[in-house]
Amino acid sequence: MNRLLDQLNCLPVDANVAADASTIVGLLKAVDGGGSAIEAIDARGATPRDWIAALAYKGAGGSGSLGPELTRSSPAKPRFRSAADEQTLQKLFPRAERQNLLCLQAGVYQILDFWDESHVAAQEADDMGESQFSSYWHAIAHRREPDPSNARYWFRRVGRHGVLKSVSESVMKVDWADADRREIEPLLGRDGLDPFGFVDFCSRAARSKALENPARIIQRIEMLVLLEATLALLE
Mean pLDDT of 80-100: 96
- Listed in sequence order, the residues at least 6 apart from 54 whose beta carbon sits closer than 8 Å to its beta carbon are 24, 27, 28, 30, 31
Residue 29's pLDDT is: 82
Residue 18's pLDDT is: 47
Question: Element (H or E) spanning 79, and its range?
Answer: none
Return d(Cα 131, Cα 104) in angstroms, integer: 13
* Structure confidence by residue, pLDDT tens digits, 30-49: 888 877 899 999 998 999 99
- Domain count for the chain: 1
Residue 34's pLDDT is: 79
Return d(Cα 139, Cα 146) in angstroms, integer: 10
Q: How confident is the model at residue 113 (pLDDT cuts 50, 70, 90)?
A: very high
* Structure confidence by residue, pLDDT tens digits, 10-34: 888 765 544 444 788 788 888 888 7
Spatial CA neighbour of 174 closest among 9, 59, 3: 9
* Mean pLDDT over the full length of the chain: 93
Task: Tell me which residue range forms the domain holding 190.
Answer: 3-232
pTM for this prediction: 0.95
**Cα of 110 vs its chain's centroid, Å:** 7
208: number of Cβ within 10 Å: 12
Burial of 116: CB neighbours in 10 Å, binned 0-12, 13-18, 19+? exposed
**pLDDT(1) > 80:** no
